[in-house]
Structure 1
Amino acid sequence: MQLTSPRLRAALLAAASLTLVAAVLPPPKALGIGDRLFPELGNPGYDVLSYDLSLTYKDNRSPLDAVTVIDARALEDLERVNLDFTHGTVASAEVNGEPARFESAGEDLVLTPAHPVVAHTPLRVVVRHTSDPRGRDDGGWVTTEDGLAMANQADAAHRVFPCNDHPADKAFFTFRITVPAGLTAVANGLPAARPVRRSGQPTTWTYRTLHPMATELAQVSVGSSAVPFGTGPHGLPLRDVVPAADRQRLEPWLKKTPAHIAWMEERVGRYPFENYGVLIARAKTGFELETQTLSLFESGLFTAGAYPEWYVESVMVHELAHQWFGDSVTPRTWSDLWLNEGHATWYEALYADGLGKYSLERRMREAYQRSDQWRAAGGPPAAPKPAPPGEKIGLFRPVVYDGSALILYALRQEIGADAFDRVERRWVAEHADSTAGTEDFVRLASREAGRDLEPFLKPWLYGATTPPMPGHPEWSAKAPKAAPAGPKAAVKEVPKKA
């Protein structure tokens, strides 16, 4: 048969080429970058520069149609390109403009390009797929009463879109979200185009981040939402996303954000991103989450009347503090999680102390009494035990919250408040928009203290038992028989009823 169509000839030749390449390669396998807690998370061989995600939402009963475009740079020669992706159906894939063979291996989507990718050259991947929000309770899409939101921490972004799903590989994001008439879509960052609304027709909303972001911090909200705008310190744009029916009821809480930002800036420096706001969703998640520039909260935290005002505010400050600690300065490995949660808990506790409701010293003393139990159950703060199979959220234990804030309290006791404040400011300034780990923090603290702090900090970070607390020889690590009266732990990933 004579092939008269150039396009048909090209398609058949590409398919034949892919078949030949696949025939000489070993079977695909899931890869990872060797994270101690998530060994198959992330993928070697390339550095993602940007994601461009197009999502078309119909309703909560239907998978979203999606196109993910990844621009990256190859770090080595690649005969295959592994992406983290599951919970969706792939229709087609391209690598550098040519069709690529695609297969699944574990939770990886493995692409075999028509031609191997050469080291130190641009790499563009296009995947057309679905993104399924139905019937999942292991992260990714969160179903709300009127739509969807995202909760990707720790390893759930690849349940939404193909990606290099490890915080060590931060990238810029563009979101293009098409939703039915009457619904609003919001994502991280700033609007990149004005949505065009036509009566009864779907609307596409576009957003773009101005700073790199870890995949676990991506956020997309779809719903019957109101989007109030405001201004924070130094003219910072504020944008909140709330159920439209609850806007008036939630307004007093939204008005607290400028003061919270000013309070944090007094302690650690300027807010690190292009905007900020709170996303309040009608959903029961059991946690709050610091998605970059747009922190996710359950509506019940504000509307149920179950918590005192000071407690709710301290939770808001916890998630805000993450914008510096965890979002701008992102952990290099998941074992460095204590740097996120310890710092957010520290500023949450410091804020509550400033309100005169729950003193910092009392909270740290109570944490000290439980620290040995927490270390036995979850491992030391900087070397936590892996979560049980099927319970990835189990990584977020008390030892990485109050147990890690306790390390910061001990450090301040050891080097003094002035040196400690310098450590905090330099940490977020020197590592802004990048990743950092425990060793980096120890080096910086040592530099500010004028002496090697590794002998002091190592037992706090890695010890099976809790070291003596400087300045408090009377403190005991023996837990009392009954828990003292006090607030529930103001943390996000642990269910509040736990």
Structure 2
Amino acid sequence: MSLSSMAAATALAVSAVTPSPPSLLPDLGNDGYQVAAYDLTYDVNPSTTLSPGTARIAAVADRRLSEFRLDYAGGAVGKVRVDGRDAAFHLDKEKLVVDPVAAVRGAFSVTVDFTADRAAKVPSQVDDTAGWANGPDGGFAWFGQPDRAHLFFPCNDAVDDKAYFTYHVTVPKGWTVAANGSLVARNDTKSASTFTYASAHPFAPQLAQLAVGKFTMVTGTGPNGLPLRSAVPDPVAAKPMLDQLPSFLDWLQQRIGRRFPFETVGLLGADHAVQQTDALETQTLPVFRAGALAEPQEAPVVVHELTHQWFGDSVGVADWHDIWLSEGFAIYFDSLYSAEHGGPSLADEFRWSYETLDPTARAQGITPGNPTRPDLMFPLGRGTGSLVVYALRQKVGDQTFRRIIDAYLDRYRDGSATSADFIRVATSVGGQDLGPFLHDWLYGVTTPPMPGHPDWTPKPSTPGGALPAPAPRPGS
């Protein structure tokens, strides 16, 4: 069969076997436009939870819109302008509904004056503890994944709508701002400082990070001259992880086979109340509990969040059903790191996962490629999703595995991908039809045999059994 014929056959096979399930978070995101850039201005006073802000949004409408919506909750809106003209608006639950003077089509701009409330909480189907991570001194960090970014600013809170970000944040003298991207300006007066950060690569709102605290900025140089900049409350306590950051990045570049995908990277240590998610892969500035950066045993967690910079950030997921493409690879590489640094072997780690995972969900059609419920998507992505990655590595061998992920990361860099996209890449690079193999692992109602390990025995399926409660997420 010719390569073109194989590609066509693969496309047909993928479309035939890949389901199109309903959205896991149908209230997130908005149709009719894509955001190109956010420019966010905040005036932060740590003594109050209220922060006046302005969001300037550049977007492109794919059709004529006489009305459009942004996601926003937990704060007040004072004024909205569309293409420089005042627009009517109202808040409807977690939507900011905008009625411009003239319908928009093609490129348009929106400016929203708002006041964010860092005490605000709204219900989540996934993680009620996410959102504003407030410290005891009035500092804070953001945990926006998966459905909290619109607590921080008006946005199109869709997982596949990537945009460039710029931040202008004014804080009282003595306070420091950290955010995604690079610090491009700092202006100091006698009483305040204004920090300006800008991203060189786009990302989805759930990966946005803005933190204010009594931080020390720790800079350095990583592999290939990569600028490093971390923000931590106590650089002496965080020294165990900060010192290892270059070696973590070097190890990942060697194992993944590609250079770090962004312009800078660092670790953010946040003092905040305990949450389900104690770490998050916010782009170029993954956030951790400040205390965790002092604990050597937390190294695999740091590697996990750094892995996400390639898997989940540089190549995002196009739909929450595809979260295994982010979490599965992060678990695989943090397990590999642990195995190479005194932990259980990779085979022992994944054998335990393979033989102990409860198959009840699979028997009911709840699989890593089709979680069916928002509260199950992260447990499945991290658990069975990482087994998909390990199984693929076992089937094709290390060299072909690396070629597959290299092609995948190259093709979808700064974009988003689906499970079907990954299957197409794997089949094209692997020189064999990996579609049925990956389909069985992603959507099959029984646990497939593990390549290379005929002695591994999965638990038998129990149709009709009760689903286990989702496990807390130690990291994301």
TM normalised by structure 1 equals: 0.84
Shift of 1:395: 3.6
Q: Is the 8 A contact 2:321 2:377 kept in 1?
A: no
Are residue 85 (structure 1) and residue 72 (structure 2) matched?
yes
SS at match of 1:407: helix
CA distance in 2, matches of 1:294, 1:426: 25
Q: Distance in 2 between matches of 1:79 and 1:116?
A: 4
- 1:246-271 per-position Cα deviation (integer Å, ceiling 9, x unaligned): 21121232010101111111122100
Match of 1:134 in 2: 119
Instruction: Output the amino acid matched with 1:126.
Output: T
Equivalent residue, structure 1, for 2:240: 252
Provide the aligned C-alpha RMSD in A: 1.9
The structure 2 residue matched to 1:59, chosen from 46, 65, 71, is 46
Bigger mean CA deviation after superposition, 405-414 or 215-224: 405-414
Q: 251-260 vs 341-350, which deviates more?
A: 251-260
Residue type of the alignment partner of 1:178: T
Q: Deviations over 1:106-130 (max 9, x none)?
A: 3110000011113xx2110000001
Q: In the alignment, is residue 302 of structure 1 matched against residue 293 of structure 2?
A: yes
Offset of residue 424 of structure 1: 1.4
| Cα distance in 2 between the residues matched to 1:103 and 1:462 | 42
Partner-residue secondary structure (3-state), 1:76: strand
Q: How does 1:154-173 map to 2 (within 5 A)?
A: 154-173=146-165
Q: Deviations over 1:162-189 (max 9, x none)?
A: 1010121100000011111110011100
In the alignment, the residues of structure 1 paired with residue 270 and residue 428 of structure 2 have an alpha-carbon distance, to the nearest angstrom, of: 43
Unaligned runs of 5+ in 1: 1-33, 389-393, 480-491
In 1, the alpha carbon distance for the partners of 2:226 and 2:255 equals 17
| Segments of 4+ moved more than 4 angstroms | none
In 2, are the aligned partners of 1:143 and 1:149 still within 8 Å (CA)? yes
Greater share of strand residues, 1 or 2?
Answer: 2
Distance in 2 between residues matched to 1:275 and 1:301, nearest whole Å = 22
Q: How many residues align?
A: 434
| Contact 1:102-1:110 at 8 Å conserved across structures | yes
1:321-347: CA deviation from partner (whole Å, max 9, x where unpaired): 000000000000010100000000010
Q: 219, 232, 237: which one pairs with 2:209?
A: 219
2:253 equivalent to 1:265: yes
Partner residue, 1:20? none
The unaligned stretches of length 5 or more in structure 2 are 1-20, 122-127, 461-470
1:209 equivalent in alignment to 2:196? no
Distance 1:313 1:374, change over 3 A: farther
The aligned counterpart of 2:90 is 103
Q: 1:23 — aligned with what? A: none
Letter in 2 for 1:156: R
- Distance across 1 between alignment mates of 2:332 and 2:151: 31
Given that 1:177 and 1:206 are in contact with CA atoms closer than 8 Å, whether structure 2 keeps it comes out as yes
8 Å contact from structure 2 (residues 368, 377) kept in 1:
no
The separation in 2 between residues aligned to 1:378 and 1:302, in whole angstroms, is 39
Q: CA deviation at 1:493?
A: 6.7
TM-score (norm 2): 0.88
Greater CA drift, 418-427 or 360-369: 418-427
Matches within 5 A, 1:69-80: 69-80=56-67
Tell whether the 8 Å contact from 2:320 to 2:377 is kept in structure 1 after alignment.
Answer: no
What is the one-letter code of the residue matched to 1:238? L
- What is the match of residue 150 of structure 1? 142
Shift, 1:138, TM fit: 4.6
- The residue aligned with 2:467 is none
What code does the residue aligned with 1:127 have?
V
Q: Deviations over 1:298-336 (max 9, x none)?
A: 123234x5xxx3x41111110000000000000000101
Higher relative CO (CA 8 A, sep ≥ 6), structure 1 or 2? 2
